[in-house]
Chains A and B, each alone.
Chain A
Amino acid sequence: MTPRLHAAAWWLWALALAVTASRTTNPLLLLPITCVAAFVVAARRSSAPWGRAFGYFVKLGVVIIVIRTLFAVIFAGSSGGDVLWVLPVVPLPGWLSGITLGGSVSTQLVIGAFSAGLQLATILICVGAANSLASPARLLKSVPAALYELGVAVVVAITFAPQLISDLLRLRSVRKLRGRPTRGLHGLVAVTLPVIEGALSRSITLAAAMDARGYGRLGDRSSQLRYLTAGLLLLSLSMSVIGIYGFLDASAPLLLGLPLLVLGLAAGLSAVALGSRGTPRTRYRPDTWEWREWATVLSAMVPAVIVSLYSAWQPLLMSPTWQPLSWMVPPLLTLAAVLVAVLPAWVAPDESANTAKQLPQPALVQA
């Protein structure tokens, strides 16, 4: 049995990196974050089908950047700054006021749109890194008992993206064997629908299988306790959503973010504690949380904290306005902090060598 990193540790590492990316629009900091994610994934991803998710997330990120920049250029309006070229302004009806089609496109506008797109893409790539590093099945094992009631939803949510990737790979190899095109627009269209349908149905099948093994089981808890748990959980989720919005959006008052986040977390934890009380379960070969997991999570917390502090202290460097146009080099400390997050590439155990042989070959029967 090879040691493997706890799936939750990978997710926490990736989410902390995503938080780091959400705090800056400086490409000179976003690109290193992307490279750190790519390096760790290349070094430590599993050989399972979902391990190849990262490449697809990178492609999606590139699409996002292109679309974001294109839209900024099309709806340029009058952006000020160093004008690159001027597109003719198309008059729009009055109810579309506030949107300008065409206009003067400036360097600042293009760079700003590219940076905003890159920020979104980097956040997405971090999620992609988590998807290709963490085993969805192992993550499912660690789900607290309070969430078992939401069994089907949780299983579908956690396993959908990995299933999507493995289905995509399978369908492509099937088409390749039949001599059909796998690239280009035609290949994409032919593969899209069966992939989405297949991933959803396989996730639901997995959920049903887990249901049969007692995951969605109500247990012998009283209905009152179940209502209490469900109510607390709902409350915790809604408060966390508002709290995260207040915390991440710089223009929202801080009073909104932190207290609600803390309250939501407390409600969620008590719901988990209450829910787990009535259902004693044992876990077969539970994943352990040891120093490797701690090191992985902390290595990504370092840039998250330092970049957040810097974005409050020096907003001009972390979210540059490019006016006047100059190289906005991020502080050395933030770069060093981002590089700390590459630590899991050595700390985490390499599971690629051993798991390859254990996995069943993908069946080439569908489609």
Chain B
Amino acid sequence: MIRPFSLAAAILAMALLASISLVSPPLSQAASYRYWTYWLDRDGGWSFSSLGPAFRTPADGSVEGWRFGVTAVVGDTPPRAAASFAAVCGDTPSEEGRKRVALIVDPGFTQDAPAGESGGSAWARCVVAGIDATGFDIVTSQVSVRTQRGLICSLNGFPASECAVTLRDPDPQPTSTAPAPVPQRTASLSPVPEPTAIAPTESAPSVSPNTPEVAVATTLPKTTPTNLTPPPNTAESPVIETADDTIVLAADPSPAPGEELPASGWTAALVIMAIVLLGGGAVAMARRRRLRRWNDLP
């Protein structure tokens, strides 16, 4: 004879267990994340930025890297090109009151991309921006950036619709460029990599004492280049060697996959008509009701 109370306790315990086992997989299992990561140069190598791009103001002469890939451990997928300022911005003269930042964007391996999509080839550009431009300003000045809830979802329309997805099946193997120019890992990395946060109001990344400072670029190293030929954003295609891979950096991003939005003039008119009709109807009815109430008063 099972007493109902112990039965209840047993059911409660089992359900609790079940719910815990249901909740825990994303935390305990080795999950990979597929998203754009944000990288900074550190002594010629890449280092994973623990700050979001909106929190960093790069100085003149710095290199900023973006890499799309499957990340299992924080900092295992740096951009596949060398973090070389000279290769990208060598020909760009410095301007008074502006700064030059080498922007390297690497959409990663094709097998890491979402099914049916391709991010194109990696590209680099020398961006000349205002002194107080943040990393986010620099990347948005070059390509379209889709953000959602403070996360960077896509650069240049790639990936088309997903946003920092968690992969639990080992289907796309985490392709780490392990022995590549070892990224000096910043101290105290969280075990679960957090997608690069951008919006200051929505998330607050922790700053440990030895993470790169949010450099306020007031004192700029005025590096005067020797030859003063091409204006910024002219095509330059330096071939950059890395430890495991040689990729050609294009000067321009490959054309973004066109987001086909249906022709919407009629729908817009219908939306406005619906708002006017329903809203106006509601107001009119409320007014009539108010008048009726006054008339009903003795």
- Nearest Cβ on chain A to B279's Cβ, whole angstroms: 5
Number of interface residues of A (CB under 8 A): 65
Q: A42-B285, A224-B8, A323-B145 are in contact. Are A235 and B15 (CB under 8 A)?
A: yes
Which residues on B sit within 8 Å (CB–CB) of A263? Answer: 15, 18-19
B204 interface residue, CB < 8 Å from A? yes
- Nearest Cβ on chain B to A322's Cβ, whole angstroms: 10
Which residues on A sit within 8 Å (CB–CB) of B131? Answer: none
Number of interface residues of B (CB under 8 A): 66
B5 interface residue, CB < 8 Å from A? yes
A251 interface residue, CB < 8 Å from B? yes
A232 interface residue, CB < 8 Å from B? yes
**Which of A38, A225, A231, A255 lies in contact with B11, CB distance below 8 A?**
A231
Are B146 and A255 within 8 A (Cβ)?
A: no
B228 interface residue, CB < 8 Å from A? no
Are B8 and A227 within 8 A (Cβ)?
A: yes
Are A260 and B19 within 8 A (Cβ)?
A: yes
A71 interface residue, CB < 8 Å from B? yes
Q: Which of B257-271 contact A (CB under 8 A)?
A: 259, 261-262, 264, 266-268, 270-271
**Which of A232, A317, A332 lies in contact with B8, CB distance below 8 A?**
A232
Interface of A is mostly: helix
- Nearest Cβ on chain A to B7's Cβ, whole angstroms: 7
A41 interface residue, CB < 8 Å from B? yes
B171 interface residue, CB < 8 Å from A? no
A239 interface residue, CB < 8 Å from B? yes
Q: Render A222-259 as a binary contact track against B, CB cut-off 8 A, 1 for contact.
A: 11110110011001001100100000000101011001
Are A35 and B275 within 8 A (Cβ)?
A: yes
B207 interface residue, CB < 8 Å from A? yes
- Of all chain B residues, which has the CB nearest A95? B207
B96 interface residue, CB < 8 Å from A? no
Cα A168 to Cα B209 with chains together (Å): 53
Which residues on B sit within 8 Å (CB–CB) of A77? Answer: 54-55, 199-201
Which residues on A sit within 8 Å (CB–CB) of B43? Answer: none
Cα A31 to Cα B274 with chains together (Å): 9
- Nearest Cβ on chain B to A348's Cβ, whole angstroms: 14
B173 interface residue, CB < 8 Å from A? no
**Which of B4, B134, B144 lies in contact with A224, CB distance below 8 A?**
B4
**Which of B18, B26, B144, B278 lies in contact with A253, CB distance below 8 A?**
B26
Give chain B's interface residues, CB within 8 Å of chain A.
3-5, 7-9, 11-12, 15-16, 18-19, 22-23, 25-26, 54-55, 133-134, 136-137, 140, 144-149, 161, 163-164, 166, 168, 198-201, 203-207, 214, 259, 261-262, 264, 266-268, 270-271, 274-275, 278-279, 281-286, 289, 293, 296
Name 23 A/B residue pairs within 8 A (Cβ), A-sorted.
A35-B282, A42-B285, A43-B282, A72-B201, A75-B200, A78-B137, A80-B145, A94-B207, A97-B204, A98-B200, A98-B207, A100-B55, A222-B4, A235-B12, A251-B149, A251-B163, A251-B164, A260-B22, A316-B161, A323-B140, A323-B147, A330-B267, A356-B296
Excluding A228-B8, A251-B164, A253-B168, 7 further A-B contacts by CB distance (< 8 Å) are A32-B278, A35-B282, A39-B279, A42-B286, A76-B200, A222-B4, A332-B270
